[in-house]
Amino acid sequence: MVECSAVTSPCPSESALMAFVSGSSPDRAPIEAHLVECERCRVAVAGLVSRTTAPTRSEGRLVRGAQVGRYVVLDLVGQGAMGQVYAAYDPVLDRKVAIKLLHPLAEGAEAQERLLREAKSLARVGHPNLVGVHDAGAFRDSVFIAMEFVEGQTLRAWLQPRTRSQAEVLDAFLQAGRGLAAAHAAGLVHRDFKPENVLVGRDGRVRVSDFGLARDVAEPARPAELAPLLEPEKLPTATGAFVGTPAYMAPEQLAGQRADARADQFSFAVALYEGLAGQRPFARNSADLVKAGARPVGSAVLGQALLRALAAEPSQRFPSLDALMTALKPAPRKRWPVPVTAAAVLLAVGLGVSLHRSEALCGSGPARVEAVWPESRKRSLAAHFAGLGGSPLFESARRGLDAYGVGWAAMHREACEATRVKGEQSDQLLTARMACLDRRLVEVEGVLGVLATTDATTLARASDAVNALTPLSVCANANALLAPTPRAEQPQVVERVSRIEQELARAQALNEAGRFKEGVPIATTAALEAHAIGWAPLEAEALLTLGALTQGAGELTSAEPMLRDSWARALVARADRTAVIAAVNLSFLLEELGRMKEAQEWSWQAATLRDRVGDDFDLEARVANQEGHLLSTNGDYRGAETRYRRAWELRKTHQGEAHPKTVLMWANVGMSAGGQGHYEEAVQVLRGVAV
């Protein structure tokens, strides 16, 4: 609601003023009468008129079927001064999403930066009580973010019937508080918490949204954001708008001081007070009125907690939002069945708090996996493979994907807890690990796309793509993760990189499934686009994929320059893992061409560079296996067996004895034993492989 000077009629809400400006208000007369006597509302309406009638909005709403990035527009579900929100379909992940699209240049570059900041803020914090962000990018002369689509309503609308019990209202706000606290733990401040920026899903789960005003606590405030907002001349004008909503702002924020987590705590308390009492605690949140205090609401415990959170001085509020929520609803006392020591009590309490905090901050991994590999997709693929007579093959693939998903969720939690809970890992490394894990899910999506297009001729190798998924352990290798060239952050580049990564994942899966001719054009396009962007690690990966597909198709002389270029680009980018794989592939290719001296040199290059990568069992196994090949080709079967056994031991230890790659290494051991004349041993080994 807009803050008004002394007038005879109450000020309309922001939504009512927006409806008035847009012409959709059912009864304009009361608002028109109010505007005659209220200068503040006139100024606010002037700002809304300026923004909603700007000539840059001439394109209007998007029609059904229009594309924003890879997303297909379904319906317009909401709009405001900054932009529009559409329901859309994501054809890659087969799900419904919400697309928030900023009006083209409605508020200039600053508004676009604010929207991208919203995407980055939410993407950094995975929590069930925060709206999930999937993607962000450029669209025409604007930007968009793709978010979780929440079937439900705003907290404001949910509170409207005024029939909610105190317990229901408190529970909804405690859920929102947990999401906001998770953002604070990640170093983010919302700065515009209010009921309109909280969503209540049909499932009852509450999610905080609209972090467009959020800012990392380490980011310095800008002068434009520090202008005091209490005087009429400092309210929104036809050429600018304040940051945040005054009705919920803390006094220090209104006075132009830096807003921190305690300002969010004040806004949270104002909204909760309003939810319980039906009105906000203060006519306006100026320091003098806030210091005078508010009338307590609810129980004695609840009322005291709210009054402390509504203190005019930030230092007098709770030290954190977690502390406020504990005070709002203290945990019930537990009756211990037997006497215990004070130390044991403290240990139990500490463990409980730690587990709760860990779950709140780091428990979103299983949901991320479920979004990519849901039960509906399993059923669909099972039916597809059954129609091809390949149910056993699909069951093998399903078990592999299920295990990969469990491992992914476990590593996601471990990476998050290492920074957010235990404080043992830097934010930089956490960001790198999360980006690595995101790429692994992109790989899974690529594999699923290949499985869905399997036919009778490609059925036999369909599950090979699952077995070839990049080991999750690469996302724990700090040495390798912190070495590559940083990705660009421009929205246009980020969107293109994301699209290329998705295409590469598909091409890589096609390569592992033996569908080389299908994969070559996809990898070719990806390599050209990666070169156009100029991001060396992605170009090196695209060239490696194209070279592997070309090599698989039997065009060895054409594949050689692609693999050489991949190796060179990877060295420039310090993408050492890609460089090692390119060198191993080159060694194998040159061996097939009979150029043994060159094959030996590239094997040596791979082994030397592998040491720089650090702990990576997959790379070490690849190098050892290729060394075994070269020794075997030269007739040194004893030496070959040693290297094959090393590759087998690595695979067995890290991927299990039954993993297809482990079995293949064991078969190589058997072949090298046979080459030495140890026929009984060879037969025994190969029989074990057959079983």
| C-alpha 204: how far from chain center | 23
* Interval 376-388: pLDDT, tens: 889 989 999 999 9
Give the Cα separation of 633 and 651 in Å (integer): 23
**pLDDT tens figures, 166-215:** 888 998 999 999 889 888 887 778 888 999 889 998 878 899 987 654 55
**pTM, rounded to two decimals:** 0.51
Percent of the chain residues topping a pLDDT of 70: 77
Query: What span, in angstroms and rounded, lies between the C-alpha atoms of 583 and 589?
Result: 10
> Residue 238: is its pLDDT beyond 60?
no
Q: Residue 230: pLDDT band by 50, 70, 90 thresholds?
A: very low
Mean pLDDT across the chain = 80
Higher-scoring residue by pLDDT: 123, 440: 440
Catalytic residues: 192
Residue 413 is predicted with a pLDDT of 93
Partners of 143 in the beta sheet? 138
Q: Which residues contact 607 (CB under 8 A, 6 or more apart)?
A: 623, 627
- Print burial letters for 68-88: b (CB count within 10 Å at least 16), e (below 16): bbbbbbbeeeebbbbbbbbbb
Residue with the larger pLDDT of the pair 337 and 587: 587
Give the residue with greater pLDDT, 19 vs 86.
86
**Candidate ranges 158-162, 454-458, 532-536; pick with highest mean pLDDT:** 454-458
| Whether the predicted pLDDT of 617 surpasses 50 | yes
Quote the pLDDT of residue 51: 45
Tell whether the model's pLDDT for residue 117 goes beyond 70: no
pLDDT at position 227, please?
36
| pLDDT the model gives residue 240 | 33
Asked whether residue 89 carries a pLDDT value surpassing 50, the answer given is yes
User: What separation in angstroms does the CA of 608 have from each of 425, 482, 620?
Assistant: 29, 20, 11
pLDDT in tens, 661-676: 888 888 888 888 888 8
Of 68-82, 143-157, 483-497, 674-688, the poorest mean pLDDT is in 483-497
Q: Which residue has the higher pLDDT, 609 or 246?
A: 609
Where does the pLDDT of residue 677 fall: very low under 50, low under 70, confident under 90, or very high at 90 and above?
confident
Angle at 124 between CA 123 and CA 130, to 5 degrees: 65
Q: Please choose, from the candidates 394, 411, 387, the residue with its C-alpha nearest in 3D space to the C-alpha of residue 447.
A: 394
**8 A C-beta contact, residue 173 and residue 106:** no
Q: Give whole-number Cα distances, 335 to 54, 96, 343, 433, 466, in Å.
A: 64, 47, 16, 42, 51
117-121, 291-295, 472-476, range with the lowest pLDDT: 117-121
Q: Is the pLDDT of residue 408 over 60?
A: yes
Is the pLDDT assigned to residue 125 strictly greater than 70? no
Q: According to the model, what pLDDT value does residue 649 have? A: 93
Residue 631 structure tokens: 């020794």
Q: How confident is the model at residue 16 (pLDDT cuts 50, 70, 90)?
A: confident
**Rounded distance, CA 634 to CA 327, Å?**
75
Asked which of 438-442, 494-498, 683-687 is least confident by mean pLDDT, the reply is 683-687
**How much is the pLDDT for 110?**
62
d(CA 548, CA 561): 11
> Considering only 379-388, 532-541, 645-654, 674-683, which range has the smallest mean pLDDT?
674-683
pLDDT at res. 126: 66
Which of 648, 658, 577, 659 is closest to 615 using CA atoms?
577
pLDDT of residue 588: 95
pLDDT tens digits, one per residue of 19-77: 776 666 667 777 767 776 676 676 666 555 544 443 333 346 888 888 888 888 998 98
How far is the CA of 360 from the CAs of 180, 183, 185, 591, in angstroms? 11, 11, 10, 53
Judged by average pLDDT, the poorest of 247-256, 439-448, 503-512 is: 247-256
Q: Which amino acid is at 40?
A: R
CB 657 within 8 A of CB 649: no
The Cα–Cα gap between 504 and 536 comes to: 15
Q: What single-letter amino acid sits at 168? A: E
Q: Could you give the percent of the chain with pLDDT greater than 90?
A: 32
| Residue 57 pLDDT | 38
Domains and CATH numbers, the chain: 14-53 (no CATH), 67-148 (3.30.200.20), 152-328 (1.10.510.10), 359-601 (1.25.40), 616-691 (1.25.40.10)
Please give the angle made by the CA atoms of 585, 586 and 587, to the nearest 5 degrees: 90
